[in-house]
Amino acid sequence: MRIYLIAIGQRMPGWVQAGYAEYAARMPAETSLQLIEIPPEKRTRKADLARIAEREAGRLLAATPSGARVVALDARGRMVDTPALAGRLEQWMQDGRDVALWVGGPEGLTDQARAAADWLWSLSPLTFPHPLVRVLVAEQLYRASSIIRNHPYHRA
């Protein structure tokens, strides 16, 4: 099973690239993590932000591998603790379908994008910068896989 982190935004700071790469490299082969960066739409002072969000949502969908389970990261989603995430990851692994994790742009995801998702996941009631979300998601997926494999990384 492959996990695709499909995110709006490119040219992340070095610390984001290094943090994401560190945890992605630690993932076991059976749950490899791959980043797909979607170029953001240009935003101007008079831009129609709703239309921009629609176009970006379409690009997320277009970048999603056929048949993949879609998980949208969204503030309206369900918060889970790490052991519960490990349980979900284990279910996904047993299902065998690839997983596409969507991270929207500055305006977030559209109603249509949320409706297209199989699951809405909220990392926290806090608002995080989009670059940091990449690192948080990669670390939590690695931690969840560590729980599944009884690796000592997760010591709760």
Annotated binding-site residue numbers for S-adenosyl-L-methionine: 73, 104, 123-128
Characterise 67 by phi-psi region: left (phi > 0), alpha (psi -120 to 50), beta (else).
Answer: left
Establish how many alpha carbons lie within 13 A of residue 60's alpha carbon, considering only the half-sphere containing its beta carbon.
Answer: 30
Phi, psi dihedral angles at 16 (to 5 degrees): -70, -50
- 10 Å Cβ neighbour count for 51? 10
The label of the residue with tokens 């500055």 reads 106
* Residue numbering of the annotated binding site: 73, 104, 123-128
In this structure, is the dihedral angle defined by the CA atoms of residues 110, 84, 93 and 143, taken in order, positive or negative? Answer: positive
First to last CA, the chain: 26
> Strand 32-38 relative to strand 99-103: parallel, antiparallel, unpaired?
unpaired
